[in-house]
Amino acid sequence: MSKRVRTAVFPVAGLGTRFLPATKAMPKEMLTVVDRPLIQYAVDEAREAGIEHFVFVTGRNKGVIEDHFDKQYELEHTLEQRGKSAALAELGRELPQAGQTSFTRQQEPLGLGHAVWCARELVGDQPFALLLPDMLFKANPGVLKQMMEAYETTGGNIVGVEEVDPKDVSSYGIVARGEGPDSGFKITGMVEKPLPKDAPSNLFISGRYILQPEIFSILSEQTRGAGGEIQITDAMQVLIRSQSFTGVKYSGKVFDCGSKNGFLTANVVFALDRPDIAGPFLAELKKLKLV
């Protein structure tokens, strides 16, 4: 029987240069889609999947993320005094329990693989989930929960994938698909940002993983790859020689909120899905003749 996945790692040390000047003083992970920060969506997804320990790999000027997942006594007192019980209750539901969050620093911007390696002491010798907060999903159930269902059957390592236009494969990590259904097929290989002519498929790795702890020893010796950074995909290419990798072509849609287009699109889609916002928001879009 596979070990239960209890821990999730959230790499949140990036500089967010594509959103400057907005991210000059505010972490990109705290940018809001409608009224929730990107990092909150990722934590909610992990919690739905049964995660109990939330590990954040941070950098300088990221203290607001830690504050976000802490109690805010002054705010809560003010809400209580003003009778805003619904808002107060919502804050309580979203607050992790004492001891469920851990924070560690990535002291140099050496890539995603390096950020994951920085979490090694907090994760220990256990399988873990890896969630990239930039990648926001519209899915029910959540993508990580769908992946957990596959993990219960196959064990090993799990990667969430989605189709991309073949001409855009050079922007992503791409997997080679083997036998099996969309809900759990064998991955026979992977490559980071291939040229379209070299891509083994159009299935891209979309920021959700379940990984075995042996990845840490590989990352400790991993040399720099694409972009001069230590890539998690390169380490997975080594691990796949000795462990199984399963792809899950999940039900849902991803929005790359690391790009302005994906971020703005996500705001529109999520707003139109909110019963308390959709009607008035759609009316305003119609007034502007945008729909």
Q: What is the pLDDT of residues 253-281, one digit of tens each?
A: 999 999 999 999 999 999 999 999 999 99
Contacts of 176 (CB under 8 A, 6+ apart): 187, 188, 189, 190, 200, 201
> Cα(239)–Cα(215) distance, rounded to whole angstroms?
7
Q: Residue 116 in contact with residue 10, Cβ under 8 Å?
A: no
Contacts of 274 (CB under 8 A, 6+ apart): 34
Question: What is the Cα gyration radius of the chain?
Answer: 19
- Residue 75: C-alpha distances to residues 36, 91, 94 (Å): 17, 10, 15
Percent of the residues in the chain that have a pLDDT greater than 90, as a whole number = 64
Q: Residue 33 in contact with residue 41, Cβ under 8 Å?
A: yes
Contacts of 48 (CB under 8 A, 6+ apart): 141, 142, 144, 145
Of the candidates 244, 247, 221, the one whose C-alpha atom is nearest the C-alpha of residue 234 is 221
Q: Write down the mean pLDDT value for the chain.
A: 90
Q: What pLDDT does 10 receive? A: 97
Q: What pLDDT does 248 receive? A: 96
- Residue 258 main-chain phi, psi, to 5 deg: -80, -10
pTM (predicted TM-score): 0.91
DSSP letter at 97?
P
| Helical ranges in 126-255 per DSSP H | 143-154, 215-219, 232-239
Q: Which domains occur in the chain, in start order?
A: 7-258 (3.90.550.10)
Contacts of 286 (CB under 8 A, 6+ apart): none
> Cα(282)–Cα(276) distance, rounded to whole angstroms?
12
Q: What pLDDT does 39 receive? A: 96
Phi/psi zone of residue 261: left (φ > 0), alpha (ψ -120 to 50 degrees), beta? alpha
Q: What pLDDT does 5 receive? A: 95
Helices (H) and strands (E) in the chain, counts: 11, 13
Q: What pLDDT does 289 receive? A: 83
Q: What pLDDT does 15 receive? A: 80
How is residue 144 written in tokens?
């990580």
Ranges of the chain whose pLDDT falls below 50: none
**Residue 101, SS3?**
strand
Q: What pLDDT does 227 receive? A: 66
